[in-house]
Amino acid sequence: MYWIIALIIYLLLAIGMVISLLVNGIRPAKTLAWLLTIFTIPVAGILLYWMIGRNRRKYSWKDIQEDEAINAYLQRIGQNQGIQNPLIKDSAVFDKLPHLIEKTSGFKPTQNNEVVLLKNGKATFDAVFSALETANNYIYLLYYIYEDGELAERLYALFSKKITEGVKIKIIYDGVGSYSLSKQYIKELKAIGVEVYPFLPFKLGRFLASINYRNHRKIIIVDGKIAFTGGINISDKYLKGDLVLGKWHDMHLQLKGASVLDLQVVFAIDWFLVSGDSSELDIELPKLSKTVGNQIVQIVYGGPDDYFSPIGQTYFSLINNSKKYIYITNPYVIPGTAILRALEVAANSGVDVRLLVSAKADSVLVKWSVRSYFESLLKAGVKIYQFQEGFLHSKIIVSDDEIVSIGTANMDIRSFEQNYEVNALVYDKETAILLKHEFLNEVEHSRSVEYETFKDRPYLEKLKEGFAKVFSPLL
CATH number, domain of 238, equals 3.30.870.10
The CA distance from 346 to 350, in Å, is: 7
Same domain, 29 and 174: no
Q: Are residues 451 and 402 in the same domain?
A: yes
Q: Are residues 276 and 140 in the same domain?
A: yes
Among 256, 367, 395, 464, the active-site one is 395
Distance of CA 309 to the CA centre of its chain: 12
82 in Cβ contact with 111 (< 8 Å): no
- Would you say 454 and 378 are in contact if contact means Cβ atoms under 8 Å apart? yes
202 is in which domain, residue-wise? 68-87+111-295
Residues 321 and 460 grouped into a single domain? yes
- CB 249 within 8 Å of CB 392: yes
- Residue 96 domain-assigned (yes or no): no
Active site residue 108: no
**Count of domains forming the chain:** 3
Say if residue 246 is in the same domain as residue 385: no
Q: Is 303 a member of any domain?
A: no
Examine residue 393 and state whether it is found in any structural domain, yes or no. yes
Of 446, 457, 453, which is closest to residue 357 (Cα–Cα)? 446
Please indicate, yes or no, whether residues 276 and 399 belong to a single structural domain of this protein.
Answer: no
Q: Is 400 a catalytic residue?
A: yes
Q: Which of 108, 170, 216, 249 is catalytic?
A: 216
pTM: 0.87
Are residues 396 and 275 part of one domain? no
Angle subtended by helix axes 459-471 and 28-40, to nearest 10: 110
- For 88, the enclosing helix (H) or strand (E) is none
Which alpha helices (H) appear in 82-213, and where do they start and end? 92-105, 120-133, 150-164, 183-191, 204-210
Catalytic choice (256, 383, 393, 469):
393
Q: Is 102 inside any structural domain?
A: no
Q: Is 216 a catalytic residue?
A: yes
Which residue of the set 162, 218, 237, 252 is catalytic? 218
Per-residue pLDDT of the chain (475 residues; tens, 9 = 90+): 666 776 666 666 666 666 666 666 555 656 666 666 666 666 666 666 655 555 555 444 345 445 666 667 666 666 555 444 454 555 545 678 999 999 898 889 998 899 999 999 999 999 999 999 999 999 999 999 999 999 999 999 999 999 999 999 999 999 999 999 999 999 999 999 999 999 988 765 555 555 678 999 999 999 999 999 999 999 999 999 988 899 999 999 999 999 999 999 999 989 988 998 877 666 666 776 666 788 999 999 998 888 789 999 999 999 999 999 999 999 999 998 999 999 999 999 999 999 999 999 988 888 999 999 999 999 999 999 999 999 999 999 999 999 999 999 999 989 998 899 999 999 999 999 999 999 999 999 999 999 999 999 999 999 999 888 877 755 5
Q: Is residue 306 among the annotated active site residues? A: no
* Residue 397 sits in the same domain as residue 321: yes
Beta-carbon contacts of 200 under 8 Å, excluding residues fewer than 6 positions away, are 174, 175, 176, 206, 207, 210, 211, 213, 214, 215
For residue 393, what is the DSSP state? -
Whether residue 63 lies inside any domain: the answer is no
Any domain includes 62: no
- 177 and 133 part of one domain: yes
- 393 as an active site residue: the answer is yes
**Does 395 qualify as catalytic in the annotation?**
yes
Domain boundary among 295, 326, 359: 295
SS3 357: strand
Pick from 123, 228, 231, 224: which is nearest to 177 by CA?
231
35 and 117 share one domain: no
Does 266 map to a domain?
A: yes
**Any residues with CB less than 8 A from the CB of 319 and at least 6 apart, and which?**
326, 339, 342, 343, 346, 353
Is there a domain that residue 99 lies in?
Answer: no
- What Cα–Cα distance (Å) separates residue 186 from each residue in 16, 162, 181, 190? 40, 17, 8, 6
Whether residues 413 and 327 share a domain: the answer is yes
250, 262, 400, 412: which is the annotated catalytic residue? Answer: 400
- Shared domain check, 268 and 381: no
